[in-house]
Amino acid sequence: MGLGWRCSYIQDKKVSVLLRFAFLEICVSVLFFVSTLLLGRLLSIRSEMAPPIEIAATKTYVEKHAASLPPLNERILSSMTQRSVAAHPWHDLEIGPGAPVIFNCVVEIGKGSKVKYELDKTTGLIKVDRILYSSVVYPHNYGFIPRTLCEDNDPIDVLVIMQEPVIPGCFLRAKAIGLMPMIDQGEKDDKIIAVCADDPEYRHYNDISELPPHRMAEIRRFFEDYKKNENKEVAVDDFLPATAAYEAVQHSMDLYADYVMETLRR
> pLDDT tens-digit profile of 18-68?
666 667 677 767 666 666 666 666 555 444 544 443 434 444 444 555 555
The whole-angstrom separation of Cα 118 and Cα 224 is 19
Per-residue confidence (pLDDT) for residue 265, from 0 to 100: 80
Confidence of residue 240 (pLDDT cuts 50, 70, 90): very high
Confidence of residue 76 (pLDDT cuts 50, 70, 90): low
- Considering the candidates 9, 133, 138, 226, report the single residue annotated as catalytic: 138
If one looks up domain 102-265 in CATH, what number appears?
3.90.80.10
Sheet holding 234-236, edge to edge: 187-188, 182-184, 234-236
Per-residue confidence (pLDDT) for residue 109, from 0 to 100: 98
Cβ atoms of 113 and 142 within 8 Å: the answer is no
Per-residue confidence (pLDDT) for residue 118, from 0 to 100: 96
Which is more confidently placed, 114 or 70? 114
Per-residue confidence (pLDDT) for residue 13, from 0 to 100: 56
Which class for 89: exposed (0-12), middle (13-18), buried (19 or more C-beta within 10 A)? buried
Residues 210/215/217/220 CA torsion (nearest 10 deg): -100
One-letter identity of residue 262:
E
> 199 CB contacts (<8 Å, ≥6 apart)?
162, 163
Q: At what angle do helices 242-265 and 71-81 cross, to 10 degrees?
A: 70
Dump pLDDT digits (tens) for 86-121: 689 999 999 999 999 999 999 999 999 999 999 999
- Average pLDDT in the 135-158 region? 96
Confidence of residue 80 (pLDDT cuts 50, 70, 90): low
Per-residue confidence (pLDDT) for residue 8, from 0 to 100: 56
Average pLDDT, the chain: 83
> 4 CB contacts (<8 Å, ≥6 apart)?
none
- Active-site annotation holds for 138: yes
What secondary structure does DSSP assign to 172-230, as a single string? EEEEEEEEE-EEETTEE--EEEEEETT-TTTTT--SGGGS-HHHHHHHHHHHHHTTGGG
Cβ atoms of 99 and 165 within 8 Å: the answer is no
pLDDT score of 190 more than 60: yes
Which residues sit opposite 178 in a β-bridge? 193
Per-residue confidence (pLDDT) for residue 57, from 0 to 100: 42
